[in-house]
Amino acid sequence: MSERIPYDEFGLFHENAAEFGLSFDRPPTVRRESVALAGGRTLSALVWGDTPPELVLIHGGAQNAHTWDTVALALGRPLLAVDLPGHGHSGDVAPAATGRLRADGLADDVAVAIRALAPDAAVVVGMSLGGMTAMCLADRYPDLVRRLVLVDVTPGVTAAKAKAITDFVNGPATFASFDDILARTVQHNPTRTVTSLRRGILHNAVQQPDDSWVWRHRRFTPATGTTATAETRPDYGPLWDRLGSVRMPVLLVRGMRPQSVVDDADEAEFRRRLPGAEVARVADAGHSVQGDTPLELAALLEAFSFGPTAP
């Protein structure tokens, strides 16, 4: 038997601060909230601060709300970080959805949480699958999205571009030990510190009674019970038209390392569809900009959402 590893989801913020040189006089004010969804389901979220949230942060596929912890610490603003349905502490996706990655259904659920917990937020930020969700949210619920930030994602992301990520997500269903799950994660994220990856696993995986480990995110579609592989990923291309029709200010944050899933053609199409939008290239980030360069991302969000040109 392996040793039991204790986990306190609110007890690791000092590690985030220390790794990136942020001051840490006292733990931040963070609480977990649950919002009721249709069909008896629930959506869980982290609420940072004790005043109305100014930002909404939506994580990528196979992640959870804690992926934003360092960004949240750097911003120092009240915000809402959701666990998408099928991820983290949230319940399942809607049974009517044809697959775990159906962004419209996710947007409908996230809209309920925003109305309940962050109705006046200045900006909605979505990374990867969270970005697809945010695009649908901006299209379907524009009253909730005053400004939109897409982190390393456009509708041009294909199965081929995301293959390395999909292969990692669709790896072993269980791991015999924490060392095993950590080794696989380090192999997939060679530019990140082991400390940060260990922390991420504690937030995103659960130790079982037999001491094995499983990811928190649901690996199977509710409709078919099959693994959501690259071959079953939806075609997000039609979202280009919907993204091009939004009227709020939009920022695309693009990681420039090879791990990014956004290429020059995607950026060009983004600029063509939204000629007034902004693009920020982050040289030292891959796909997970919030994990690779959280301070740079926090500065971009601050300037775009609350800078001199923001309302």
Among residues 83, 287, 288, 292, the one annotated as catalytic is 287
Reported as a single tens digit per residue, the pLDDT across 232-281 is 567 889 899 999 999 999 999 999 999 999 999 999 999 999 999 999 99
Q: What pLDDT is recorded for position 311?
A: 77
Is there a contact between 1 and 211 (Cβ–Cβ < 8 Å)? yes
pLDDT range class, residue 100, cuts 50, 70, 90: very low
pLDDT score of 302 more than 80: yes
For the chain, the 3-state helix, strand and coil shares in percent, each to the nearest 5, are 35, 15, 45
* Section 281-293 average pLDDT: 98
User: pTM here?
Assistant: 0.95
145 assigned to some structural domain: yes
Q: Which amino acid is at 34?
A: S
78 assigned to some structural domain: yes
Reported as a single tens digit per residue, the pLDDT across 205-226 is 999 999 999 999 986 443 333 4
Q: What pLDDT is recorded for position 97?
A: 56
Reported as a single tens digit per residue, the pLDDT across 224-239 is 334 443 335 678 898 9
Q: What pLDDT is recorded for position 228?
A: 43
Is there a contact between 227 and 220 (Cβ–Cβ < 8 Å)? yes
Is there a contact between 295 and 74 (Cβ–Cβ < 8 Å)? yes
Is there a contact between 230 and 163 (Cβ–Cβ < 8 Å)? yes
* Section 44-48 average pLDDT: 98
Is there a contact between 277 and 249 (Cβ–Cβ < 8 Å)? yes
Among residues 66, 83, 90, 128, the one annotated as catalytic is 128
Q: Please state the domain count of the chain.
A: 1
235 vs 146, more confident: 146
* Section 190-201 average pLDDT: 96
* Section 71-78 average pLDDT: 98
176 assigned to some structural domain: no
Q: Assign residue 49 a region: left if phi > 0, alpha if psi is -120 to 50, beta otherwise?
A: left
For residue 301, CA distances in Å to 57, 209, 219 come to 11, 41, 31
- The whole domain housing 264 covers 14-155+220-306
Q: What pLDDT is recorded for position 231?
A: 37
165 assigned to some structural domain: no
Q: What pLDDT is recorded for position 78?
A: 98
203 assigned to some structural domain: no
287: annotated active-site residue: yes
pLDDT range class, residue 102, cuts 50, 70, 90: confident
Indicate which CATH number applies to the domain containing 242.
3.40.50.1820
203: annotated active-site residue: no
213 assigned to some structural domain: no
Give the chain's mean pLDDT.
92
162 assigned to some structural domain: no
Task: Count other C-beta atoms under 10 Å from residue 194's C-beta.
Answer: 12
* Section 7-16 average pLDDT: 97
Among residues 69, 104, 109, 152, the one annotated as catalytic is 152
28 assigned to some structural domain: yes
212: annotated active-site residue: no
